[in-house]
Amino acid sequence: MSEKSAESNNLSDKFAGLLQRVQTAVVLLLILSAPVLLGGFWFLVILAIVGVIMAREWVGLLQSEDPGRDALWISLLMLNVLIYGYATSLADALALIVFISLVGAALSFKRGSRFTPVFGGLIYIAWPLAAASGFRDDAMGLMVIFYILVSVWAVDIFAMFSGKIIGGPKLAQRLSPNKTWAGMLGAILGALVAAALSYGLIVSFDDSGLVPNVTALAVLAVVLAVVAQGADLFESWLKRKYQIKDSGNIFPGHGGILDRVDGLVGVLIFLHLLTLVRGVDISQALWVWS
């Protein structure tokens, strides 16, 4: 094979991974579009389904001694949190997660059993899903969820593109040998593009009178890119620790749900913490800083 052909094949392989990542994002967008648009009960249903799949993958990732039992426990607790939060508030949902987790930690310590397969899974799965449900109920919930999804997917796609095409120094080789500083810069660029797109849509189509602060959007875009990449590194660390390549195989050749939403999990948790610190609605916490 000629040197030119080898370079061409190498470039094709790099773009194949990127194309697969884009295809996955499109499939997820198609699956989520109707429930997100409808909101309320139907959005809660799709969150619950995703949560059950995540629970099954989580116990496999952490090599639970009894995966079926632990996945069932996570699913039942997660469903109770989602329903309780939907009937009351996101704050109440988080309070329930904290209460169950503290009780679970005490029981695990007393029995000498592992905390993370069930109660760590509850925190990792139920908290971001409850946050998504609560965010959708905001007056600008549709715009908020759109902004979050587009931001995370843009971060993921731009980071992969930059990392593979540019390469260069590694970001955290011990955690994830494929991530580079070029990928991080690409992630930030992707988040900024998503922020600009969201700003245009909000100003053009929203009638609430809210005008996003451009500085807030830009700063938050950078922060979200770092958070999403950090959450990705966290799951990479877990997979290396337990010597597992992918969390599942729901996307053939492309891993499981946890592999695709790791950044989203981190961003949803971070944004909920942001609303708690600022004491305002999610749309205000995201776009209006003073």
pLDDT of residue 7: 47
Domain end point (choices 117, 137, 157)? 137
Higher-pLDDT residue of 193, 254: 193
Q: Compute the distance between CA of residue 117 and CA of residue 238 in angstroms, rounded to an integer.
A: 12
Query: Are residues 80 and 93 located together in one domain of the fold?
Result: yes
Share of the chain above pLDDT 90, in %: 49
Per-residue pLDDT, 213: 85
Same domain, 227 and 129: no
203 against 147, higher pLDDT? 147
Which helix (H) or strand (E) segment holds residue 23: the answer is helix 3-38
Mean pLDDT of 210-228: 90
If asked whether residues 283 and 203 sit together in one domain, one would say yes
Distance of CA 172 to the CA centre of its chain: 20
Query: Of 137, 157, 176, which one is at a domain's C-terminal end?
Result: 137
pLDDT digits (tens, 9 = 90+) for 189-216: 999 999 999 888 887 777 667 778 888 8
Query: Do 28 and 47 belong together in one domain?
Result: no
Q: Is residue 253 scored above 60 in pLDDT?
A: no
Predicted confidence at residue 256, as pLDDT, reads 85
Same domain, 166 and 221: yes
pLDDT of residue 49: 94
Domain identity same for 204 and 272: yes
Residues 156 and 248 in one domain: yes
Helices and strands, number each (H, E), in the chain:
10, 2
Are 267 and 228 in contact, with CB atoms under 8 Å apart? yes
Q: Is the pLDDT of residue 254 over 70?
A: no
Choose the final residue of a domain: 115, 137, 159: 137
Q: How far is CA 7 from CA 14, 16, 177, in A?
A: 11, 14, 22
User: Is 289 found in the same domain as 215?
Assistant: yes
Pair (195, 280) in one structural domain: yes
Residue 274 clears pLDDT 80, i.e. is over it: yes
Asked if pLDDT for residue 4 goes beyond 90, the answer is no
Q: Please state the domain count of the chain.
A: 2
Domain co-membership, 155 together with 283: yes
Q: Whole domain around residue 106: which residue ranges?
A: 39-137
Does 195 share its domain with 148? yes
Predicted pLDDT of residue 251: 67
One domain, residues 51 and 63 = yes
- Confidence band, pLDDT 50/70/90 cuts, at residue 113: confident
pLDDT in tens, 156-202: 889 888 887 887 788 777 777 778 888 899 999 999 999 999 888 88
- Give the range among 24-28, 87-91, 173-177 with minimum mean pLDDT: 24-28
Quick check: 244 pLDDT over 80? yes
